[in-house]
Every structure is written in structure tokens, then in C-alpha cells.
Amino acid sequence: MTEGPSPTHLAVLRLLADGELHSGEVIAVQLGVSRTAIWKALDKLAGLGIEVETLRGRGYRLAEPWEPLDAARILGALSEPGRSLLDDIEIHACLGSTNTYLMELAKTGAPAGRVCLAEHQDQGRGRHGRTWVSPFGRGVLLSVLWRYSFGLAGLAGLSLAAGAAVAIALRSVGVTDIALKWPNDLLWRGRKLAGLLLEAAGEAHGPSHVVVGLGLNLHLSPRQAAEIDQPWADLATALGPRGRGARLERNRLAAIFSEALLVALDRFGREGLVPFLPIWETCDPHRGQPVDIVLGPRMVHGIHAGITADGALRVLTESGEETFQAGEVTLRSGHP
């Protein structure tokens, strides 16, 4: 794991957060540290992918303003349903993975409704073990812990419910053309905008617990985007003219997506996948398209025929209809 920023590094970053010029001398005086400490801090920030501009004789500034995650501001932006379901909000500068952190916390008895956010995670994962690229402070990286009285089998379809909830949340902030790709990828015009990762543990007949992780990049620079090995989009791009050049409010967005997942997890426990199916119908443009399903050494070719009431993918093959609870789906039209 990459060593995270020290308190001094974070203090320098917070001073620069407004995007204005700050001289190294003034920063050193404000923080009560040496100029050498400031240089080391700036070097560390660069190593984290934070772009700091140096104007000789004038000082330093961030290439773009930065809004630090703040638990009080996130809590204040939650509506009553979100606050009633929330246990606590934890914010970390750097974690290996917010999902891993909450799964470990769950073993100690942490209650449902715990939310964990990180400015950066260096072991962030997508489905099938893929790496999730997450530059420091450039996205919303959060995980939510929830507990159920039923067993692991009852969690079938939960990933689709979570995807539907995030799709509605994205629409609420102004994103159009959102598509869901089974089981829970969120695409914008064929490019991955957000990803979900669900991890669960428990007994066959209950109880069980699950951690739902969300990764959403808000605005990536060309250099940061070069690290991504698949067609991608960030929120600023998906918002169009509204997003380009705008200062995206990370704490408000963190509240919106935290609440969306809290409400969805609670509702799934009471009603299952059924109330989320209509959302899937409106966000699934791939139905009727040819798909390939990879499941271990097996590959299946067929036509995407929708999803079942418990969230399985229906595929029409030459030998008839098959359903899949897991697998890697590729659209043969060339979309991811």
C-alpha cells in the first residue's frame, strides 16, 4: 500500500484547495513548518497525482480547486430518510479499499448504515479483480455496510438494485443517457461512468451482511485518464456544458449517492428486487442485442433477453434460453 499523506501534506493541500496562488513562505508561516517541509509536501502531492502549478516568484496553486470531503457537510446534505438510516460517516485520506475496510469492521460488529469514504484508495477494485483508477480527491469513493436477517442466498439481485439506485441518483444530478449493463455497471454513451462492487459474508440461513462500494470519477485530467484501460467517462463530461469548467460539489454528491444506497439497501431487505425492476427496464438499452457471456472456461453466445425477477441475466442461445447469476458480459456491438 502506498504511504498516505501526512498531516502536514494534508494541511498544505487544504490551504491550496481554493485554487488561488499561495507563496511557499506564507504557507510555511501559516503552518509553522520549514520551507523544506513545504517542498516535500508539494512533492508528495505530485506523487499522489495532484497537479500543483508553480509560478516562479509568485507561489503555488492547484491546477483546479479542490473540495475536501467533510463528514459534517455530507451529513447536512442528507435528507431525513438518509439520516434515519445512517449509523456514522467515516472519512479517510487514503485507504487500501473502502470495501475491505468496512468488511473488516463488520467482523467487529459494526452496525448497518456505516458509510466510509476515502480521498484515495490504492487497492480499489472493480468486478473480477480489476483495478479502479482513483486519483486523490478527484472522485466519490464510498462504501456502505448493511445487515440482513436472511442468508446469503437472499442477496441475489442486490447488485442490480444498487445499480438502479445509483442510476436514479445520476439522473437526479442532471446526467442523461445513463445505461445499466448487467449486473451493475453504469455506462454513459457506452463508456463506463461508475462502478459498483458488492462483497458479502454470513450464514446460509442468516444473518448476513454486505458492503456495497461505489467508484465515480468526477473530473480526470488527460494524464490521469491515460491510466484507464477501458472506455470511460467522468461526471464532468457526462454533465456536458454544465460539468465542464464547473466546480462539482463533492460533499453534496457524496451525500446523494450515500443516501441512494442506504435507501436501496433498506428497501431491498423489505421488498427484494421487485421495486427496482422497472428502473432496470428503462435503463437497459442492451436488451435484444447479441452478447457473449464468459463464465470460467465457458463462453456462451446469444441474445440479451432481459433479467429475471431475482436478477439473473436471460440469454437466448441456439439451444434455448439460459439464465446466469454471474459472468462477464460483452456486447458484440463493440460496447463495453
- Binding site residue list for biotin: 97-99, 121, 125-127, 192
List of residues 6+ apart from 263 with CB closer than 8 A: 81, 82, 85, 165
Active-site choice (40, 73, 127, 252): 127
What is the C-alpha separation between 93 and 114, in angstroms, rounded?
A: 17
In contact, 264 and 219? CB cutoff 8 Å: no
Within 10 angstroms of residue 120's Cβ, the number of other Cβ atoms is 22
- Identify whether 181 is a catalytic site residue: no
Given 58, 223, 242, 332, the catalytic residue: 332
Query: Of 290, 292, 329, 323, which is closest to residue 309 (Cα–Cα)?
Result: 323
83 counts as catalytic: no
61 is catalytic: no
Contacts of 142 (CB under 8 A, 6+ apart): 98, 115, 116, 117, 118, 213, 214, 254, 257, 258, 261
Annotated binding residues, as ranges? 97-99, 121, 125-127, 192
| Separation of CA 186 from chain center | 10
> Cα separations (Å) of 243 from 109, 156, 174, 179, 236?
40, 35, 10, 19, 4
Task: Give the residue numbers annotated as catalytic, written as ranges.
Answer: 127, 192, 332
